Structure 1
Amino acid sequence: MTSGPRNILFLMTDQHRVDTLGCHNPTEVSTPHLDALAASGTRFERAYTPTAICTPARASLLTGKLPFRHKLLANYERNVGYIEDLPADEFTFSAALSDAGYRLGLNGKWHVGTHRNAADFGFEGPDLPGWHNPVDHPDYLKYLSDNGLPPYEISGHVRGTLPNGNPGNLLAARLHQPVEATFEHYLATRTIERLHEYADDYRTGRRPFFLATHFFGPHLPYLLPEEYYDMYDPDKIELPASVAETFEGKPPVQRNYSALWTYDTLSEDVSRKLIAVYRGYVALIDREIGRILDTLHELGLDDSTAVFFTADHGEFTGAHRLHDKGPAMYEDIYRIPAIVRVPGSPAAQVRDEFVGLTDMTATILDLAALDPAQAVDGSTLLPLIAGEKAPWRTELTAEFHGHHFPYPQRMIRDARHKLIINPESHNELYDLLEDPHELTNRHQDPSLATIRHHLTTRLYTTLRDRGDNFHHWMSAMSDTGPLDHDPSLSSFEPNTPTYTPT
């Protein structure tokens, strides 16, 4: 625990690939402000989302619980029957901070439910619903008007062709606005205004604050002004190695999702341009984050404010012949950027432990001098940030429940291997050392039988102990070892402590 509560600045992006940060990929991209943040704090090399879809991931950050536990399992835009809002009595870190005297602010994407907005959870700031920049929002239109800036307008729409012959989803377009008129600049400006207000409140009343900026990007479609749309030369872009994906031995849904995102209907030049524009989008956001961090410094709050940077999940951007995200548990969409700077902690640290969004929830609570165990599926990162050799998990799990349609998946990975259980078709096993791009499914490879059994048993045991009922499927369909219960749920003898199959 910390000795007393700290201010917290929480910066979050949406659908953000790790390899678009210079501190992860210095030869390919430039993100000077995020790189500087990493150089002054701790970068987590193995950070993961609990699920690669916006609403459930953000609900996990808010509650400190995995999706199967909080049960908000899908984005409402594609919801196919799951609940659409967190239960009214659900624990949230915002309520805990508010009770502890914190002032709470959020500028940007909320996307945690349909009927209850950020204000319902104690956050000040404009209500900005939806999954992408709401460019018709009254506060944004007022910002443009107040500053004499031109309205939103795009051209040069980039789309592929869907299997039914219709135009595909919009992937990118040129935005005919200056940088100062972009939604990203607007969000940063509103954050800076609130930061000034919160700084005054903190200095006069010693009321600490939690202030978040949740950018809607670099989620597709990539809509950028010319300066950033053309920032990177497509001719110098290397396509990801996983465009060699054949989907052989993979769940058929992956090939279907490739068709949904129209990858094979786009030319190679267009695919390179999309990667270039995506990187330009990251650069634009990096610039706006720089403005926020500069303001924090100018206000003299560096020594009293912890700074977080992360994302809800990653993005394919052509990897595995896919775009967006979906029912494929590849590193591209499950690994996320994660940087934390806590005043007084060592700088320029790189930690290799497996961490996730629920750990950030626990860390927020710890920084506020509250019990981090309230984030029941997280652990505070402060010992790692302090440079300690703390006991830590050696495996990481993730889950998925569907997007467009129900599609349950569970995943476990350790330092080298990843196992994915797909009830509808083929399970997957990857050797991430020999096959870092996850092209070869080795689930049926006899040479990995021992590893497959170990990971299957570990995943089953973990899910069973958590109370994730997915374990019932595994107990019937996977080699989980001897059972200590009746998976059929049909044994009614109260004095039978164990179940032994005959």
Structure 2
Amino acid sequence: MKPNFLVFIVDQLCASHLGCYGNDRIDTANIDALARAGWRADDCNVATPICMPNRASLLTGRMPSVHGVRHNGIPLSLGARTFVDALREAGYMTSLIGKSHLQNMTAKPPLPAPGAPRWPRDAEAAFPGDYRQECVATWHGNDEAAVTTPFYGFDHVELAIEHGDQAEGHYRRWLRAYHPELAERVGPGHALPAPDYVLTSFGQAWRSRLPEACHPTAWIADRTIERLRAAKRAGRPFFAYCSFPDPHHPYTPPGRYWDMYKPEEVELPASFHSQDPPPHLRWLREQRDRGQAVKHTMACFAATEREAREAIALGQGSLSFIDAQIGRVMAQLRALGLEDDTVVVFTSDHGEFAGDHQLLFKGSLHYRSLIRTPLVWRDPAGQAGRVHRGLLSTIDIAPTILERAGVPAYNGIQGRSFLAGVHGRGAGGADREAVVIEEDGQRTYFGFDAPVRMRTLLTAGHRLSVYRGVEWGELYDRAADPHETRNLWHDPAVATLKAGLMERLAREMLDLMETNPAPTAVA
């Protein structure tokens, strides 16, 4: 009998914010229960710490440099092959509820390189189709907007686009239809008073007027539950992708979750007071100290202690709300008699700084808080309470799901299945000695003269990061310096080690180049 799959994914979460990853100051009881009953990866890392490209890597099992979504604003080609395509062709009911972000959410084209011509609107992808299906402008006030299915392999799609209580797509259409009085009272302009919170002053948090039951997070759980019921009625194996847009900023945890955690009581990361920062972190701190920090965008900035405490507290409130909704979905899975036939996965698309090194949000500094993602796999055929300590990558999820489903992998998959480890048979092919993390940014900041382009090599012992256009880099001893506060790049005592890691990075990058003449074809 084919197993079912229920995948929970959240947007922008430090693994260390979960109870099952050692945080005893937060309530994530339902996610923690999945970890106790299943398998947990302690060192799973992104292919890139950027939303669109890493989500595309998760679904394709391929690196951004080969699937083409190098940064936000470049849609995944509708001709790309995903593991969901393969499951669908094998007879699975496939559904996506919530955030997709495989296409651009804004109407803005990708930023051109300095001096380059503007991005031609017909050059978004080499495969024909509609690449504005996730654009807010497509959906805003438009009850005729729809998603053409199959959508990257998903037969059923219900979208919640963007973040917080202002989410668009099918969610906002539902809110307008069933709660019209609430649909006009979302966003910071209609927020409840929260005078003690600094983040509200620059639009990165507001106290939502939405009741908990009407928040996008609850709606996503409601609609996922309906898909479980539909699969039960159909009597077919299913793949359900339950994708929450939070706890990403701007923070709008509803009801009691707004002040469930007090900013003055949260614990700052151990690196918050780190000294001797690398040049780009020093630049961000200098911007803050001169009163020039840009705080209202999606990009990272150096925060004050109060700003960091608020972001941690409100992010934890959003996460506990998500955890409660996961509990509701899991209760329905049990009530339908499907739990013993269903693999349940929990992960995030990337991490966030959350005060690490005085930073908020995300950007081109590959600290562990940003690149490490939670990965929990509860499998009826697996062993409970297992923890994998070795290196894994986001691209390893696709081949593992396919192997568990008994569906052959397709041309171009670069990930390695970790299923043997889940079932207690060692690490299998996923026992990596190194992981490469790519980043090709859109923004020009850090005092650089062009958008950031960097590559990181992770080994069990070290993290090496190199940047285009500058002579310096980063090198940290992951064992002796787990908070990455001492950059060894210029230390002559590790010159031989650095040279070896640079060579290893070059060889790993060669191994990750495209080698398939038809990467979207069935193997």
TM range (shorter): 0.7 to 0.9
More moved, 456-465 vs 148-157? 148-157
Cα offsets for 1:309-352 (capped at 9, x unmatched) = 10000011222222111111111110000001111210111111
Is the 1:199–1:299 contact (alpha carbons within 8 Å) kept by the matching residues of 2?
yes
Is the 2:439–2:453 contact (alpha carbons within 8 Å) kept by the matching residues of 1?
yes
Is the 1:358–1:375 contact (alpha carbons within 8 Å) kept by the matching residues of 2?
no
Tell me the residue number matched to 1:238.
267
Give the Å deviation of 1:128: 3.5
More moved, 325-334 vs 439-448? 439-448
Tell me the residue number matched to 2:152.
121
Give the Å deviation of 1:267: 5.0
Matching of residues 339-350 of structure 1 within 5 Å: 339-350=376-387
Q: 1:200 aligns with which of 233, 236, 243?
A: 233
Tell me the residue number matched to 1:323.
360
Cα offsets for 1:288-320 (capped at 9, x unmatched) = 111111111111111111111100000112222
Give the Å deviation of 1:266: 5.9
Is the 2:207–2:252 contact (alpha carbons within 8 Å) kept by the matching residues of 1?
yes
| Percentage of matched positions with identical amino acids | 32
1:190 aligns with 2:223: yes
Is the 2:304–2:358 contact (alpha carbons within 8 Å) kept by the matching residues of 1?
no
In 2, Cα distance between equivalents of 1:228 and 1:269: 19
Instruction: Return closer, same or farther for 1:236/1:402 CA change in 2, 3 Å cut-off.
Output: same
Matching of residues 261-276 of structure 1 within 5 Å: 261=295, 267-276=304-313
Tell me the residue number matched to 2:8.
11
Tell me the residue number matched to 1:416.
461
- Provide the aligned C-alpha RMSD in A: 2.6
Tell me the residue number matched to 1:399.
438
- TM-score, normalisation: structure 2: 0.80
Instruction: Return closer, same or farther for 1:345/1:408 CA change in 2, 3 Å cut-off.
Output: same
Is the 1:247–1:254 contact (alpha carbons within 8 Å) kept by the matching residues of 2?
no
Cα offsets for 1:340-387 (capped at 9, x unmatched) = 111121011111121122111111211221123646211112101001
Give the Å deviation of 1:19: 1.4
Tell me the residue number matched to 1:360.
397
In 1, Cα distance between equivalents of 2:301 and 2:45: 29
Q: 1:438 aligns with which of 469, 475, 484?
A: 484
Q: 2:167 aligns with which of 113, 135, 156?
A: 135
Tell me the residue number matched to 2:277.
248
Tell me the residue number matched to 1:101.
91
Gaps of 5+ in 2: 105-129, 134-146, 445-450, 516-523
In 1, Cα distance between equivalents of 2:457 and 2:163: 28
Gaps of 5+ in 1: 77-83, 162-166, 470-502
Task: Give the aligned residue type for 1:92.
Answer: T
Tell me the residue number matched to 2:521.
none
In 1, Cα distance between equivalents of 2:513 and 2:169: 41
In 2, Cα distance between equivalents of 1:254 and 1:434: 26
Cα offsets for 1:29-82 (capped at 9, x unmatched) = 221000000011101111111111100000101111000111111212xxxxxx
Task: Give the aligned residue type for 2:265.
Answer: K
In 2, Cα distance between equivalents of 1:133 and 1:226: 12
Q: Matched residue pairs, number?
A: 449
Q: 1:298 aligns with which of 317, 325, 335?
A: 335
Matching of residues 141-290 of structure 1 within 5 Å: 141-143=173-175, 145-146=177-178, 150-151=182-183, 152=186, 153-155=190-192, 156=194, 168=202, 170-202=203-235, 207-246=236-275, 248-251=277-280, 255=284, 259-261=293-295, 267-290=304-327
Tell me the residue number matched to 1:458.
504
Cα offsets for 1:393-423 (capped at 9, x unmatched) = 1211111010424321111111121100112
Give the Å deviation of 1:148: 8.6
1:372 aligns with 2:409: yes
In 1, Cα distance between equivalents of 2:165 and 2:54: 19
More moved, 251-260 vs 184-193? 251-260
Is the 1:247–1:255 contact (alpha carbons within 8 Å) kept by the matching residues of 2?
no
Is the 2:302–2:359 contact (alpha carbons within 8 Å) kept by the matching residues of 1?
no
Give the Å deviation of 1:126: 1.9
Q: 2:351 aligns with which of 311, 314, 318?
A: 314
In 2, Cα distance between equivalents of 1:28 and 1:359: 30
Tell me the residue number matched to 1:494.
none
In 2, Cα distance between equivalents of 1:267 and 1:460: 38
More moved, 226-235 vs 256-265? 256-265
Task: Give the aligned residue type for 2:504.
Answer: R
More moved, 404-413 vs 369-378? 369-378
Matching of residues 34-49 of structure 1 within 5 Å: 34-49=31-46
Q: 2:60 aligns with which of 60, 63, 79?
A: 63
Question: SS of 1:294's equivalent?
Answer: helix
Tell me the residue number matched to 1:480.
none
Question: SS of 1:211's equivalent?
Answer: strand
In 1, Cα distance between equivalents of 2:222 and 2:238: 18
Task: Give the aligned residue type for 1:327.
Answer: S
In 2, Cα distance between equivalents of 1:465 and 1:353: 20
In 2, Cα distance between equivalents of 1:449 and 1:364: 41
In 1, Cα distance between equivalents of 2:101 and 2:364: 20
More moved, 126-135 vs 297-306? 126-135
Is the 2:208–2:253 contact (alpha carbons within 8 Å) kept by the matching residues of 1?
yes
Is the 2:269–2:355 contact (alpha carbons within 8 Å) kept by the matching residues of 1?
yes
Is the 1:160–1:266 contact (alpha carbons within 8 Å) kept by the matching residues of 2?
no
1:428 aligns with 2:428: no
In 2, Cα distance between equivalents of 1:468 and 1:252: 33
Instruction: Return closer, same or farther for 1:160/1:16 CA change in 2, 3 Å cut-off.
Output: closer
Instruction: Return closer, same or farther for 1:254/1:314 CA change in 2, 3 Å cut-off.
Output: farther
In 2, Cα distance between equivalents of 1:10 and 1:418: 29
In 1, Cα distance between equivalents of 2:157 and 2:77: 22
Question: SS of 2:343's equivalent?
Answer: strand
In 2, Cα distance between equivalents of 1:409 and 1:333: 15
Task: Give the aligned residue type for 2:457.
Answer: I
Tell me the residue number matched to 1:72.
69
Is the 1:254–1:327 contact (alpha carbons within 8 Å) kept by the matching residues of 2?
no
In 2, Cα distance between equivalents of 1:88 and 1:148: 35
Question: SS of 2:245's equivalent?
Answer: coil
Give the Å deviation of 1:242: 2.1
In 2, Cα distance between equivalents of 1:109 and 1:10: 13
Task: Give the aligned residue type for 1:196.
Answer: R
